[in-house]
């Protein structure tokens, strides 16, 4: 059985790690280089770096900061934010990224998924989907969650897979930062619909929430930010808990 992955996420704004609730009320969470190094040492399976203001500010991801973080981590490193075309990727690869995460640009131009998968392989492409429930439908939002796109979560995830995305990073905007648990029902439905891994994001507040994401939501990986950033939970303790409860993890 494949091991489940625990992934800390560094949301970056102005060179600092930040965290909000429901994509607003952003507060500082520390130095991204120090946090990245600490998570690698704690046993994180991967690290995600998201430049959350790059798209809205119409600029590219800070490759220099990516390079600095990559110097201190020896685990797979996914980078996202402001990637709009094939040419944006080479500087990030050179800086040390192992995968890229695309979101708003893929919604605007779905062919970008095909282009990246063809150029670098599906395993290199993570399709990030930010969605919230609107009139009982999970609607995809772009530009840091500020713009409803009209696309629906499940059909967009299936299209992403068919175009070559290697995994789906699903963030429930309704659960993000609330620490009330992951969005279990849509996670389980994504698992049923897709053949590629699904990463759960948004809502982690306890070790039990991770267990629920893996057992009930059938997620392949779970991502969290504030829970780790503010020292409420260590990755090593979380993995011991999951292992004790029958979830296969790398220790």
pTM, entire model: 0.90
- Number of Cβ within 10 Å of residue 169's Cβ equals 26
Torsion, Cα of 132, 221, 189, 165 (10° steps) = 80
Dihedral sign from CA coordinates of 121, 122, 123, 126: positive
What pLDDT score was predicted for residue 18? 66
| 8 A C-beta contact, residue 104 and residue 143 | yes
What pLDDT score was predicted for residue 24? 47
DSSP single-letter state for residue 178:
T
What pLDDT score was predicted for residue 59? 46
What is the Cα–Cα distance from 71 to 95, expressed in whole angstroms? 9
Q: Identify the residue whose tokens are 């990986």.
A: 221
Q: What is the pLDDT along the chain (251 residues), one digit of tens a residue?
A: 689 999 998 877 766 666 555 544 455 556 778 888 888 999 999 999 887 555 555 445 578 888 888 888 899 999 988 889 999 998 888 999 999 999 999 999 999 999 999 999 999 999 999 999 999 999 999 887 778 898 999 999 999 999 999 999 999 999 988 899 999 999 999 999 999 999 999 999 999 999 999 999 999 999 998 788 778 899 999 999 999 999 999 98
What pLDDT score was predicted for residue 60? 54
Q: Cite the active site residues.
A: 11, 130
Helix 111-120 and helix 153-163: axis angle, to 10°? 40
| 8 A C-beta contact, residue 79 and residue 66 | yes
What pLDDT score was predicted for residue 23? 45
Q: Dig out the tokens for 61 from the structure.
A: 């991801």
Q: Does domain 5-244 have CATH number 3.20.20.70?
A: yes
Cα 86 to Cα 50, 81, 110, distances in angstroms? 18, 13, 13
What pLDDT score was predicted for residue 49? 86
């Amino acid at each position: 059985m494949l091991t489940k992955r625990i992934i800390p996420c560094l949301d970056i704004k102005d060179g600092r790690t930040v965290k909000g609730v429901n994509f607003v009320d952003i507060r500082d969470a520390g130095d991204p280089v120090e946090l990245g190094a600490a998570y690698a040492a704690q046993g994180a399976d991967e690290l995600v770096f998201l430049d959350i203001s790059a798209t809205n500010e119409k600029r590219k991801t800070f490759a220099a900061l990516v390079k600095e973080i990559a110097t201190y981590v020896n685990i797979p490193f996914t980078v996202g934010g402001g990637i709009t075309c094939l040419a944006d990727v080479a500087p990030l690869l050179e800086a040390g990224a192992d995968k890229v995460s695309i979101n708003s640009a893929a919604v605007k131009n779905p062919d970008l998924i095909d282009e990246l998968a063809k150029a670098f392989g599906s395993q290199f492409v993570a399709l990030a989907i930010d969605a919230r429930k609107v009139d009982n439908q999970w609607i995809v939002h772009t530009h840091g969650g500020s713009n409803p796109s009209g696309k629906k979560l499940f059909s967009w995830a299936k299209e992403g897979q068919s175009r070559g995305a290697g995994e789906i990073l699903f963030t429930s905007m309704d659960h993000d930062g609330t620490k009330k648990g992951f969005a279990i029902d849509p996670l389980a439905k994504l698992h049923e619909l897709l053949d590629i891994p699904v990463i759960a994001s948004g809502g982690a507040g306890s070790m039990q929430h991770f267990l629920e994401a893996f057992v009930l939501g059938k997620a392949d990986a779970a991502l969290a930010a504030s829970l780790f950033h503010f020292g409420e939970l260590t990755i090593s303790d979380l993995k011991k808990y999951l292992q004790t409860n029958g979830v296969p993890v790398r220790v």
